[in-house]
Amino acid sequence: MPQAKYIPERKCIACRTVKPKTELLRVTLLEGELRADPEGRLPGRGCYVCKTSECLKTATTKNCFSKSFRKGFTKDQLSALLKELNANIN
């Protein structure tokens, strides 16, 4: 009998649902800047958010990124990240 392939799961920081890693977008903190990591290969601490505009908006408005990385971010940094993430969901 073949074994089932292991699929890693992660939790969305906005809606708190657990989904397969491939269904989420990874965000990393790289040299003090928030960066979208669509391939999941950038170094450093990361968090995950659903590929929906609702979760992206919730994550930026409710300070989910600040809580995940334990660091404050300006509105300009969050809006730049939101633009970058929206480009990856379309």
The pLDDT score that the predictor gives to residue 90 is: 62
Report long-range pairs for 7-13 (Cβ below 8 Å, ≥24 apart): 10/48, 11/48, 12/48, 12/49, 12/50, 12/55, 13/47, 13/48, 13/49, 13/59, 13/64, 13/65, 13/67, 13/68
Six-digit token string for 3: 């074994």
CATH number of 9-89: 3.30.1230.10
The pLDDT score that the predictor gives to residue 86 is: 87
The stretch 21-40 carries a mean pLDDT of: 92
What is the rounded radius of gyration, in angstroms, for the C-alpha atoms of the chain?
Answer: 14
The stretch 35-46 carries a mean pLDDT of: 92
Whether residue 48 is predicted with pLDDT greater than 70 in this model: the reply is yes
The pLDDT score that the predictor gives to residue 9 is: 97
Percent share of the chain, pLDDT over 90: 74
Instruction: Report domain extents, the chain.
Output: 9-89
The stretch 2-22 carries a mean pLDDT of: 93
